Amino acid sequence: MESGRQIFERFTKREREDLTQGRWIAGTMLVMGAAIVWKFPPIGGLFLAAGTLVLITNQAARRAARKELGKIPDMEQFYEQLTSPDSREYQDFGLIVTRDYVVKEGRRVEIYRFDEMEKFEVGLAGGKLKKLFLTDPQGKRHEIAMTLTGDGRQASFDSLYEDVRSRLPSRDRN
């Protein structure tokens, strides 16, 4: 059985690999630019500028990843929730739903705390497309899942819908 840390490492693997690859690309471009700039200044300058741009973009992505982790006040409790029997992984959508969080895998891992969300919505488009959203108090909608009619994920989508709906704290609106 995977530990909570292992589950989270698996979910963040793609993002970590992309960040590492970005550093290698930036470093390579900077070294090539420095080596070429003496013989072919325009080309070397282009490599230096592109390498710097990739490095800046990569650093911004690293800061965003740290900011996502900042949403978790207690990592040990978070890891425990990932392995809790009431947590569910929805592989069709790259999601883990725990008592307090939705963790969405992708090029950038996104973490949503239920206690920071105002409501849960379903969006329908043309009778074929369904999307699930968590909406924060500022009204920003965060898409957590999408399915198309006939894509074989409808049962998983319906299960995810019920799971998230049951975990989102009800709010009194007077």
Q: How far apart are CA 76 and CA 143, in angstroms?
A: 27
Q: Tell me how many degrees the CA angle 123-129-131 measures, rounded to the nearest 5.
A: 40
pLDDT in tens, 121-161: 888 887 788 889 999 999 899 999 988 887 888 889 889 98
pLDDT in tens, 86-128: 899 998 898 999 999 999 987 788 999 998 898 888 888 877 8
pTM confidence score? 0.78
Whether the per-residue pLDDT at 8 is higher than 60: the answer is yes
Candidate from 8-12, 24-28, 141-145, 163-167 with smallest mean pLDDT? 8-12
Closest CA to 18 of 74, 75, 58, 70: 58
What pLDDT, on a 0 to 100 scale, did the predictor assign at position 172? 42
What pLDDT, on a 0 to 100 scale, did the predictor assign at position 25? 95
Helix (H, G, I), strand (E, B) or coil at 35: helix
DSSP 40-109: -HHHHHHHHHHHHHHHHHHHHHHHHHHHHHTT-S-HHHHHHHHHSTT-EEETTTTEEE-SSEEEE-SSS-
pLDDT in tens, 19-78: 999 999 999 999 999 999 999 999 999 999 999 999 999 999 889 888 888 888 998 999
